Amino acid sequence: MKLRGMTLACAGAMAIMMGCGGDSGNANADVMCGGDAVGTWKITSSNLTVDVPMLDPDCPTATGTSSDIKASGTLMYNADLSYTDNVAISGNVTLNLPSSCLPVGMSCATFGADLVTAGIFKTAACVVAEAGCTCMLAFPDQLSNDVGTYTTTTAAGVLTETSTGDTTGSGLAYCVKGTTLTESPSTVSMSAFLGSITLAKQ
């Protein structure tokens, strides 16, 4: 599932991607069973956290915490290997950003305002802190529509999505059991999100 590749550096359209996450190790062992993903799936529950440094890969010293991160919406995996994601993320992040990671001449307040203008966050209150900026961020809780193509490697339990216009795909560990699909960041992807989502076939 593409909770599209979100980074602060990509101040672009709501790019939240669960299938682009850091190394989640053995946490994904229980979902890597593969299966037939074709169908329309509705998110019924999610267990997500934000890997704060991955919000801005150019600033690995950023720290922070996340709370109440939830995903909702639907995914469609078609028999012709095309997909459509209609997914929303809600929740909050506290980001501690060192001053060395701010663009030259930019204030904390302007940095926060730019995140809202770019549509990355609904609100962003950034204030000066001892080491730089502390930002209270809220995701916009709006659907992020994404289309593209996908492939599956059932033996490895990996589903790879490639957005239209992209040349590199993003991998997800996935498992289909009956009418339930579970997806989680795989060890080969890079994302600001860690955890898993559970979906029911419609």
- CA 116 distance to own-chain centroid: 17
Residue with tokens 């529509």: 145
Query: What value does the mean pLDDT take over residues 196-202?
Result: 95
The rounded percent of the chain whose pLDDT value lies above 70 is: 81
The pLDDT value given to residue 13 = 23
- Among residues 14, 16, 19, which one has the least CA distance to residue 187? 19
When the pLDDT of each residue in the chain is averaged and rounded to a whole number, the result is 81
- Amino acid letter at 156? A
Tell me: pLDDT of 160 over 50.
yes
Residue with tokens 């991998």: 171
Spatial neighbors of 80 by CB under 8 A, at least 6 apart, are none
Tell me: pLDDT of 176 over 70.
yes
Mark residue 161 as left, alpha or beta (left: phi above 0; alpha: psi -120 to 50; beta: remaining): beta
Q: Which of 18-27, 43-52, 111-120, 135-144 has the lowest mean pLDDT?
A: 18-27
Tell me: pLDDT of 32 over 80.
no
The rounded percent of the chain whose pLDDT value lies above 90 is: 50
In tens, the pLDDT along 137-150 reads 998 887 778 899 99
Q: Which of 15-19, 25-29, 161-165 has the lowest mean pLDDT?
A: 15-19
The pLDDT value given to residue 144 = 76
The pLDDT value given to residue 9 = 39
Instruction: With cut-offs at 50, 70 and 90, classify the pLDDT of residue 107.
Output: very high
The pLDDT value given to residue 15 = 32
Tell me: pLDDT of 26 over 80.
no
The pLDDT value given to residue 177 = 95
The pLDDT value given to residue 193 = 80
Instruction: With cut-offs at 50, 70 and 90, classify the pLDDT of residue 128.
Output: very high
